[in-house]
Structure 1
Amino acid sequence: MKTKELDVIVVAEINVDIIVAGMQRLPMPGTEHLVESIELTAGSSGVLTATALAALGLRVGLCGLVGDDLFGHYMVEHLQRWHIDTAGVLCDPTMRTGAGVILSTLEDRAILTYSGTIAQLRLEDVRMDQVARARHLHLSSYFLQTALQPDVPTLLQRSKALGLTTSLDPGYDPAEQWKMEGVLEWLDLFLPNLDEARALTGMSTITDALKRLASQTPGVAIKAGQLGATAIKDAEYRQDPGFSVQVIDTTGAGDAFNAGFIAAMLAGENLGDCLRRGNACGALTAAHRGGSGGFTRSDVERLLSST
């Protein structure tokens, strides 16, 4: 069998993030608040996962869509700076690149999203020749990628036919319909957070949500922030409490968890170690401002060996 050139190909929404940090609470209409910082950074769940995978030393490519504008150029430059293969990134001069404004507090965050190119990527825009170069396909923000959404089962089927394993982080559903028909059965790994898992299943506890999702797909890892993460794969159940860090900004922590878990899975590590590595990546990202650049592979190894 021919050796794959890439470890992971990420099919992603692409957008910048404008992060408003240091808020004590989310603002009420008609009020004004001073904050610690407002920064322009690389955004999108898929790009942040791809960046974290690259930081862990994996060979990563990305498929997505940008506009021929300042935000689009910024995002492509970010990917190239992290040595992420951009052959699958298309530029459409008739569109505007997506953007998110993240209002971040110590406890949580709220996100205002302008969809732009996020909602325009279609199945025919995903270069399957690039997908075929990889061992694993990761899809991000299912509910935001509305043009691609109806064809996600087809994308996953084609990827598996090419020999790839598959994973998906659904993200939040702004429409709050929470329908994923025909998707979970084509996944090797499903990566919701606890709120998403509850909404998708109607179950209130992490255990019940995990069991419901595991009846539809062989691998599920549910992220629960400071409560750690819980996973089940091929009927094996594991829970990991995570790491205690001083939280600065939770942006991208779940995406970094995805990267750590996927990297460990591709390396053949057991389920408990996959959870542990995912939690380490998530913790280091939460202790850093911005969704990317929060750790190196050495940082992760030091944190793992310290406990």
Structure 2
Amino acid sequence: MHIVCAGHINWDVRLHVDRLPTPDGEGLIKRRHESGGGSAANVAVGLAELGGASHVLGSVGDDERGAKATRRLEDAGVEPHVRTVGKATTVKYILVDEAGDVALLGTDGANESFGADDLPVATLEGAGALHLTGQDPETAAELARRASPETVVSFDPGRRAADRDYDAVFGHVDLLFVNAREAQAIDVDVPIIVTKLGAKGATWAGPDGVVESPGIDVEAVVDTTGAGDAFAAGFFTAWLDDRDPARALRVANACGALAVGEEGPDANLSWERIETMLDR
């Protein structure tokens, strides 16, 4: 069983700063780190690291950054359905302060140039799950409509949840990922809502009630970027195996905790590291 992740494939430029500047303020850049990124790509890589079969649908520009972002997917064992277009690959400039908090700036670029028709029908029909991220609402809705009844449709709208009209998507969603801020901004009726609470853990709200899972202490927070994507990868890997929400939340929290201790979106997930984290 494989999982299709649809959405953005970016190039991340991460600037570690002494503080996140306030309006008319200034911060000091302490170091710089570049890597592939984008929520759909990050989840697909995490799934592959945990031994799953993952596909990703997205687009990049015909440039060096696009080639590197695509190679990251291939090297991780992800099956890429990547459309290359005559635009620059989308770049996200991520400011990370000493506490691991972030602020983002982005270019428009190529990352919404793909469409539902860029994903082979057989790949979508045979998927155990279709994981949608904060992408173009029309494309997300069309992909959700095309998913077979046996496919779990999940959605993580991310930071732009309040800026885009996803009403047509929510009607097809089986499982919604949100953080605490997004949970307050989104009022929809979907079967399952998983709320990510960072250091406080996570909750599952579904037909059988609410399941809570505490957070996991980490030695140091390096970078919270991509922690939610690592969480989703861990959650899917566990939940699709036995449909146990308590276990899925524990594994997901461990993956998120591993991610905040790494620089960049790649959490270097493995079951050995997850078990060690859970032993805490």
Find the counterpart in structure 1 of residue 211 from structure 2. Answer: 238
Task: From 19, 38, 49, give the equivalent of 2:43.
Answer: 49
Per the alignment, in what secondary structure is the counterpart of residue 95 of structure 1? coil
Find the counterpart in structure 1 of residue 140 from structure 2. Answer: 152
Alpha-carbon distance change, 178 to 69 in structure 1, aligned in 2, over 3 angstroms: closer
Residue 8 (1) aligns with residue 3 (2): yes
Gaps of 5+ in 1: 202-212
CA distance in 1, matches of 2:107, 2:65: 12
Residue 273 (1) aligns with residue 244 (2): no
Find the counterpart in structure 2 of residue 27 from structure 1. Answer: 21
Deviation of 1:127 after TM superposition, in Å, equals 2.9
The answer as to whether partners of 1:178 and 1:200 remain within 8 angstroms in 2 is: no
Find the counterpart in structure 1 of residue 89 from structure 2. Answer: 97
The residue type equivalent to 1:274 in the other structure is: A
Task: From 194, 200, 212, give the equivalent of 1:227.
Answer: 200
Find the counterpart in structure 2 of residue 208 from structure 1. Answer: none
Deviation of 1:30 after TM superposition, in Å, equals 6.2
The answer as to whether partners of 1:8 and 1:60 remain within 8 angstroms in 2 is: yes
CA distance in 2, matches of 1:123, 1:295: 29
CA distance in 2, matches of 1:95, 1:125: 17
CA distance in 2, matches of 1:165, 1:29: 43
Paired positions, count? 278
Task: From 233, 246, 254, give the equivalent of 2:228.
Answer: 254
CA distance in 1, matches of 2:163, 2:61: 29
Task: From 147, 159, 174, give the equivalent of 1:188.
Answer: 174
Per the alignment, in what secondary structure is the counterpart of residue 29 of structure 2? coil
Q: Larger deviation: 129-138 or 240-249?
A: 129-138
CA distance in 1, matches of 2:165, 2:182: 11
TM-score (norm 2): 0.92
Residue 292 (1) aligns with residue 266 (2): yes
Gaps of 5+ in 2: none
CA distance in 1, matches of 2:143, 2:259: 30
Listed one character per residue, the Cα deviations across residues 43-95 of structure 1 (whole Å, up to 9, x for unaligned) are: 10111111111111101111111111011101111001101012x21212x22
Per the alignment, in what secondary structure is the counterpart of residue 147 of structure 2? helix
Q: Which runs of 4+ in 1 moved over 6 A?
A: none
Quote the sequence identity (%).
31
CA distance in 1, matches of 2:5, 2:155: 10
Per the alignment, in what secondary structure is the counterpart of residue 56 of structure 2? strand
Aligned-residue RMSD, C-alpha: 1.9
CA distance in 1, matches of 2:11, 2:42: 11
